[in-house]
């Protein structure tokens, strides 16, 4: 099975965002990955509701919203209204994770939980059957263009084992430093969705780069 490819607009040209979204629309990408950072949970600030609404106006792909923010439950309904199709929150940012996941589902969005590189897979044992996807950060969250952390491979394997043991219907999404040199190994270990930012948007031919990622098998 081919992977789902989710170009991250964090690496796009913000001065020409409409054209970048239309490029993704015309490519073989499956999702558009939208990173929200608050400058508190992570040391950077990115997009808010008005930008998501603008992206939604032109997007023809699923909008995969990744909330790297404190107290995400306060904003779930607004992100849905702004265009989100899938909303992922961080385990580390949610005091009441089950409640927040249910809140996302109540809006009609797919619900995801993200883990930072240092957070072990076994923390998901009590929530794995409640979510639609798990996003594993393969870099420290907050900035694009970072180097892939190799122990992500072991985490993908551990997560896949947990999913199989619990017979859960969960996609594994990888975010951070994904490129052609590590994509096949991630897929072999069980990844389903590859988020690619700089690798796509720094390419001289982003559409071809997306197509090449889409064609990777193991």
Q: Number of C-alpha atoms within 13 angstroms, CB side, residue 19? A: 6
pLDDT on residue 142: 72
pLDDT on residue 144: 66
Rounded to whole angstroms, the Cα distance separating 216 from 218 reads 7
Number of domain units in the chain = 1
Check if 175 is active-site. yes
Residue 77 sits in a domain whose CATH number is 3.20.20.70
Rounded to whole angstroms, the Cα distance separating 89 from 69 reads 8
Residues 81-107: pLDDT tens digits? 999 999 999 999 999 999 999 999 999
Residue of 30, 38, 175, 192 marked active site? 175
Residue of 35, 38, 64, 132 marked active site? 35
> 56 lies in which domain range?
4-214
């Amino acid at each position: 099975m081919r992977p789902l490819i989710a170009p991250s607009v964090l690496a796009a040209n913000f001065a020409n965002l409409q054209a970048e979204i239309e490029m993704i629309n015309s490519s073989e990408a499956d999702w558009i990955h939208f990173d929200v950072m608050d400058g508190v949970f992570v040391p950077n600030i990115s997009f808010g509701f008005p930008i998501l609404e603008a992206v939604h106006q032109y997007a023809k792909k699923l909008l995969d919203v990744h909330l790297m923010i404190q107290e995400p439950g306060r904003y779930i309904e607004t992100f849905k209204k702004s265009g989100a199709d899938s909303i992922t929150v961080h385990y580390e940012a949610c005091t009441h994770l089950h409640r927040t996941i249910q809140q996302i589902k109540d809006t009609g969005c797919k619900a995801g939980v993200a883990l930072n590189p240092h957070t072990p897979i076994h923390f998901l044992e009590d929530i794995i059957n409640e979510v639609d996807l798990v996003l594993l950060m393969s870099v420290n969250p907050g900035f694009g263009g970072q180097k892939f952390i190799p122990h992500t491979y072991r985490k993908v394997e551990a997560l896949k084992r947990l999913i199989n043991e619990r017979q859960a219907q969960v996609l594994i999404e990888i975010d951070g430093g994904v490129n052609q040199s590590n994509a096949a190994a991630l897929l072999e270990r069980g990844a389903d969705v590859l988020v690619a930012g700089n690798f796509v948007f720094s390419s001289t031919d982003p559409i071809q780069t997306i197509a090449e990622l889409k064609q990777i098998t193991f």
